[in-house]
Structure 1
Amino acid sequence: MTTNSQTTRLYHHPLSPFCRKVRLVLGEKRIEVELLEERYWEGGPELLRRNPAGKVPVLRHNGMLLAESQAICEYLDETVPQPPLMPKVPSERYEVRRLCAWFDDKFNAEVTQPILQERVWKKVMRTGHPDSRAVKSGLKAIKDHIDYLSQLLETRRWLAGNTLSLADFAAAAHFSCLDYISDVDWDRSEALTNWYATIKSRPAFRSILADQVPGIHPAPHYAELDFG
């Protein structure tokens, strides 16, 4: 099942990990999509009409308006079953959902949000100068997360098990946002670097690696599959 850009539209922001997670799933499912960048922080009636929570991503698909990245991704996996991104075994699905929540809640709060807020969003939204303490806190926290993920990858091919899953795309969405501004110490874990290089090379990642945020240039290695 493939949907053309006339019926599938994603309201997003290029450096939102939640939007990137949905884009990666759309790419993996080979669903053609029209991307419309949304300056969600400016609010407005149209954004609230599409999603009363005032957030992105919002996906228009088959006449429906879908919000909340995890709900969108699981909806897509159920309605476009190939390739599957959720395991059939309940215990394995639990692990995928646990890790998705880990990234969208814990990792986002401790790492992605404080770093992007200070280094990207304050500049984009023109809301002041970066707080170096918040950035340092995020850079310190990411080390513990990298160590934890490295432990998982010691016994697994992918983050949630031996098959690619939504958990990998949730993680890759966050790491790719941070990698855009070169805030991931890839030297800390060979296992995690190899995992990211593998998932980064998938066709679903192509549009992500082509992203450009005006006024904020990507790291030199950002789009290189071998990390240069």
Structure 2
Amino acid sequence: MDLTLHHFPLDPASRQVRLALGEKRLPFTEVQVRYWERPREFAKLNPSGMTPVLVAGDGDDRLVLCEARAILGWLEEAHAEPALLGREAAERAEARRLIQWFDRKFEYEAGGFILHEKMEKRLLGLGAPELANLRQGREGLKNHLFYIDGLLQAREWLAGRRLSLADFAAAAHLSVIDYFGDVPWADFPGVKTWYMKLKSRPAFRPLLNDRWPGLNPARHYDDLDF
């Protein structure tokens, strides 16, 4: 079945899906979407205008899956191996909890502030970043890094013994912030080691090649031994 992913490269939700597709070794065609311009053809696929959208197949058998939660769930059911939600019920539940944590709480308290000021304002031509919002986002980011560090002191991966979609959710959010050089890795060596393990996986390499005109990454962004 042909897969086409409509996405924005610096969108954490899109990155979660790209990581899952890469880990499952599923080839797909990429269509980059300037979602803030609300392109008409994309709106036909997803009326919310939100990325990502995965189109599976074509013609009468075409399946359109909108946004990360639906796409990731379908991938786990339609392409079960490797399992990315865990083998045991408890690990699957914890992975789901952490995905929700990063997509809602992390985004609300940290990522949303930083990415709005550093990325969205530049894409939309809304002027210079507001320092107060950046400070709030960076403070929230530190609180979440402390939380991640605590999880990793008790577990090999965030949800348990195995790599899961929880790790990809966290890494997707952190990787976009890291693109702009705002993650204080030196203060969290355990989290940095975990991120380096993820960064070295083949599924992660396409993300390290991401570039967007007018938005240059930090020097260490694509360095595996940063």
Same fold flag (TM > 0.5): yes
Give structure 2 stretches of 5+ with no counterpart. Answer: none
Whole-Å Cα distance in 2 between the matches of residues 36 and 132 of structure 1?
34
Runs of 4+ in 1 over 4 A off after TM superposition: none
Q: Equivalent residue of 2:64, what SS?
A: strand
1:14-58, Cα deviation, whole Å (9 max, x unpaired): 110000000000100111111111111111332221011111100
The counterpart of 1:33, out of the listed 28, 40, 43, is 28
Whole-Å Cα distance in 1 between the matches of residues 164 and 144 of structure 2?
19
1:203-227, Cα deviation, whole Å (9 max, x unpaired): 0011100000111111111001111
Alignment of 1:135-154 (within 5 A): 135-154=134-153
1:11–1:59 CA contact under 8 A, matched in 2: yes
Q: Equivalent residue of 1:217, what SS?
A: coil
1:71 CA drift (Å): 1.8
- Note the aligned Cα RMSD (angstroms): 1.0
Q: Equivalent residue of 2:154, what SS?
A: coil
1:88 CA drift (Å): 3.2
1:214 counterpart = 2:213: yes
Q: Equivalent residue of 1:36, what SS?
A: strand
TM-score, normalised by the number of residues in structure 1: 0.94
1:140 CA drift (Å): 0.7
* Aligned residue pair count: 222
1:89 CA drift (Å): 2.3
Equivalent in the alignment of 1:108:
107
Equivalent in the alignment of 2:169:
170
Equivalent in the alignment of 1:225:
224
Give structure 1 stretches of 5+ with no counterpart. Answer: none
The counterpart of 1:56, out of the listed 45, 51, 58, is 51
1:146–1:188 CA contact under 8 A, matched in 2: no
Whole-Å Cα distance in 2 between the matches of residues 165 and 180 of structure 1?
22
Whole-Å Cα distance in 2 between the matches of residues 130 and 172 of structure 1?
24
